[in-house]
Chain A
Amino acid sequence: MTPAREQLLALRQVTVSFQGFVAVDRLDLAVASGELRCLIGPNGAGKSTTLDLICGKSRTTSGEIAFRGAPIHALKEFRIARTGIGRKFQVPSVFRELTVRENLEIGCSRGPGVWRNLFRFSGGADTERLERLAVLVGLEDHLETQAAQLSHGQTQWLEIALILAQDPVLILMDEPTAGMTAHETSMTAALFNRLRGRHTLVVVEHDMGFVRDIAETISVMHQGRLLAQGTADEISQDAKVREAYLGSGGIGHA
């Protein structure tokens, strides 16, 4: 933990239940500015739901979520996004009918107003920035390719680039390396390490190797609650964590 840093995101006693099934149960979680936090846990622990709650895809039943000191859990999704929160989804979701370039233009959402965007056209001020982003994720040769024709790994990279185009303060990543080759995964780790400091990241991930490569602090969730928190070594020594992971093949394969 780095107490010197200012607290950016705070979940306090957050609970959500679907038809009586409590997916997240009185969760307390705090993330400091500039931190790269990994969120791990067995299937059904409530990790993705937690990200859903932060970005507004699901609504809290009770509890409070504060971002930069202000409560956000009652805001509409697009308002939450405008406070500076970006989300990458587990199933990569990009705009398949549009080209890579157009996708990136959508990502540049600094001016989200209808009226303002009526007078903006392709090839405007964002061009250089989005071409740099395309280089960053290795899609510079595919700018005019329709997103539907990208490979799975490329689609993951494109969505990451979209989030970077959005340039949010806080980035929520849901299994960014799912379906990636080992090489792609290590490149993603390198990318995340470069983002550290400039953005705050919360990453849900199953791949422990990847988590070890990037994480400072790991939060372990189990049955909707925070089970443990600490460095990678501390976590893998933790008795409660080992117990929670029994039956799912141990922490390394979860």
Chain B
Amino acid sequence: MAIRDETRMLLETMGRLFEDKSTKKAVDAAETGVFAADLWQAVAETGVPLAALPESAGGADAEWEDLYYVLRVAGRFSAPIPLAETMLAGWVAASAGLDTVDGPMTVGPVRASDVLTVERDGNGWRLNGTASRLPYATNAQRIILIADGPDSEMAVALDGTGGAEVSPGKNIANEARDTLTFNNMRLEADNVRPLGDGVSRAGLYLRGALARAAMMSGAIENTLDLACTYAQQRVQFNRPISKFQAVQQNLAVLATQTAAAVAAANMGIMSLSKDLERQEFLIAMAKTRVGEAATLACEIGHQVHGAIGFTKEYALQLSTRRLWSWREEFGADPEWAAKVGSYFCGIGADELWPTLTAA
């Protein structure tokens, strides 16, 4: 029901770690293109990135719910590492019996429109197609992709970018978003396996959207925290600007949007214990609502800060540039909103309330 004590302890531990290691200096350095290896190492040592895997696959059988709450904390500190991507790469790889590594991994495709196929070639395989804007692909030791096989979706493991044509890119938070193109790339039989039960490309997209929703809820919390702190320090007209009602009203709206973002992400996270159909619409609702909150939070966060918030030196932009990036990734909120609307129109108006309130 409510957050368990052990979850709370995990979140406190991870909060301290990120506060210590994911500093503005560390994030600034990562944004210049140097991977945050120290931060990654510290996070990897906690075992969190692969914790959800079964013990047999090197994990700890941890609850996925808990790991998404960790992603909120990572988002609060703008952690410039592929934590969500590694978790999800592990999820896909383990289901297919592919090996994972302790280093950073990534997973894809992350875009619904990408086409990736594998076909038989003797005892091996050939990979064709594009994985667009793959998070941290150039930083990943291993990349796990889902491709259409002859009969079903297949998991594919690459070491590094493993022979792909790489077109480096980045989001506006300077996180690597690299496009990988595969032209008949040869793969050994061991590196291509059928997906396990419950894992699919659509499921990956859904969980990726939930990961971004969780991270965004953390970045929004940080935006509120910075804005409230700044408003109480900044003096104009002989008063801290937090004493002006116009500013207070803005910050109150930001607080309501923060609360909604946290609750919406929770709604998505809690759906993981429910059937797939409920997961689909609840996570779609979560990404929709968190995306809406992100837009408003960035607007108010900057308005309260004035010019200083618009500088590179001040930390607000670490969160707002991530929010502007993440809200578009794994499906933007208007896209998910349309899915929510289509789903409920499809099942019919009279099913809306029974469906929303079912256990």
Partners in one complex: no
